[in-house]
């Protein structure tokens, strides 16, 4: 990373942790399929199982409940589709309206296959009301899925209450915890939690690593068949090197979580304060208190987010207009739409996300270049947008 640039897109991906890189290099220098019975295979298997036990200990689950995947998207698809298919007698699925597309798209697809999708609304902060969930639960619900923390606006959901309500109703509950890991305390043994998706490259592991935490008593139909290497639920040769690095990254994320969060909260507040001084009409989206330590999501009236993003990029600041999975899509964010944000205002939004390498210099860089970027973006905006300033 160039020293004169400020990288504030850690929610999209963050740098490879040196310890994870070392673990990967050590494991990758060896040969052996973890499913083979000879010495090389057993050595690879040992790496996998040591990582599994480490992750299980860090997340307060049993090792057998850690299913390694290629990342958060596969983990979400395996849980959402697998749990729904395992309960064909239950046609309804409860899903929050602000899920990442790794959950949203499989749910929409299941709806096209005949399931009844019951979208859970959110308030203006992007929070799901547990009482609404309780009111909609029933013995016809195959699955309820609500993300632990939103990837765009950073709002943290009342997961413990929602999970408890699902447990009382006997409904499987899945949560996408991709953004929460490393920023919030994560307890995989939470009563009522059936499954939880995790991604490696958000916490310093290589891209292509992740896991689904899945309760032993959960019924799941595999999405991919052909070996059943992971508890007959997930097939495919395990990437022993990637798994080893993922285990190291998860351990570091959990061990450093409290100190990491405290540091990021201070930087986050400095960034918010600086933005509001420069642009008093700007709007910080998401819950003001129950939000991810690293997330600053702001709408700038009278500006197009894409224009502002490119102007900031040219000035040495790297951020995003929302999820990296939907970058370049001109439509307003479905998250902001569900929160009731005006479409024109929604299109003028940026997400700044902090991480391990973030410093006060990065915050200062944003504050330094933002005024000129806002002025140019405002002049470049359409007349309709300019009238909203």
Active-site residue set? 325
Nearest C-alpha neighbor of 254 from the set 193, 188, 312, 186? 186
Nearest C-alpha neighbor of 253 from the set 324, 318, 184? 184
- C-alpha to C-alpha distance for 312 and 303, rounded to whole angstroms: 13
Residue whose tokens read 């006060």: 360
Any alpha helices (H) in the chain, and if so which ranges? 18-28, 39-59, 72-85, 101-112, 130-136, 159-169, 240-255, 257-278, 305-314, 334-338, 343-346, 360-380, 383-386
- C-alpha to C-alpha distance for 364 and 100, rounded to whole angstroms: 30
Count CB atoms within 10 A of the CB of residue 236: 15
DSSP helix/strand/coil, 326? helix
Nearest C-alpha neighbor of 107 from the set 86, 83, 133? 83
Q: Which helix (H) or strand (E) holds 352?
A: strand 349-353
Count CB atoms within 10 A of the CB of residue 367: 16
Count CB atoms within 10 A of the CB of residue 223: 17
Nearest C-alpha neighbor of 299 from the set 325, 272, 264, 259? 272
């Amino acid at each position: 990373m160039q020293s004169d640039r400020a990288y504030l897109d850690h929610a999209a991906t963050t740098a490879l942790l040196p310890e994870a890189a070392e673990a990967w290099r050590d494991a990758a220098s060896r040969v052996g399929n973890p499913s083979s019975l000879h010495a090389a295979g057993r050595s690879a298997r040992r790496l996998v199982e040591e990582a599994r036990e480490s992750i299980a200990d860090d997340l307060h689950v049993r090792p057998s409940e850690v299913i390694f995947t290629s990342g958060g998207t596969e983990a979400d698809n395996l849980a959402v589709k697998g749990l729904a298919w395992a309960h064909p007698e239950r046609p309804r699925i409860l899903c929050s309206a602000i899920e990442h597309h790794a959950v949203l798209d499989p749910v929409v697809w299941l709806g096209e296959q005949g399931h009844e999708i019951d979208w859970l609304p959110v308030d203006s902060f992007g929070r799901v009301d547990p009482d609404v969930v309780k009111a909609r639960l029933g013995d016809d619900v195959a699955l309820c899925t609500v993300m632990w923390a939103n990837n765009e606006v950073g709002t943290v959901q009342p997961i413990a209450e929602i999970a408890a309500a699902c447990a009382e109703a006997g409904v499987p509950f899945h949560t996408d915890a991709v953004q929460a890991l490393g920023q919030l305390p994560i307890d995989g043994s939470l009563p009522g939690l059936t499954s939880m998706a995790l991604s490696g490259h958000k916490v310093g592991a290589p891209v292509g690593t992740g896991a689904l935490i899945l309760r032993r008593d959960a019924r799941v139909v595999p999405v991919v068949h052909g070996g059943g290497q992971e508890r007959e639920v997930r097939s495919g040769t395990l990437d022993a090197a990637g798994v080893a690095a993922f285990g190291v990254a998860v351990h570091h994320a959990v061990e450093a979580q409290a100190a990491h969060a405290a540091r990021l909260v201070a930087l986050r507040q400095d960034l918010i304060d600086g933005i509001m001084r420069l642009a008093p009409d700007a709007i910080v989206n998401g819950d003001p208190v129950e939000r991810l330590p690293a997330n600053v999501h702001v709408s700038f009236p009278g500006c197009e987010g894409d224009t502002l993003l490119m102007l900031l990029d040219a000035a040495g600041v790297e951020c995003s207009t929302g999820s990296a999975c939907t970058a370049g899509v001109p439509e307003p964010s479905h998250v902001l739409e569900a929160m009731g944000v005006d479409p024109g205002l929604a299109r003028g939004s940026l997400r700044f996300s902090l991480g391990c390498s973030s410093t006060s210099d990065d915050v200062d860089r944003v504050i330094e270049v933002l005024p000129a970027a806002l002025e140019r973006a405002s002049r470049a905006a359409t007349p309709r947008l300019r009238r909203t300033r």
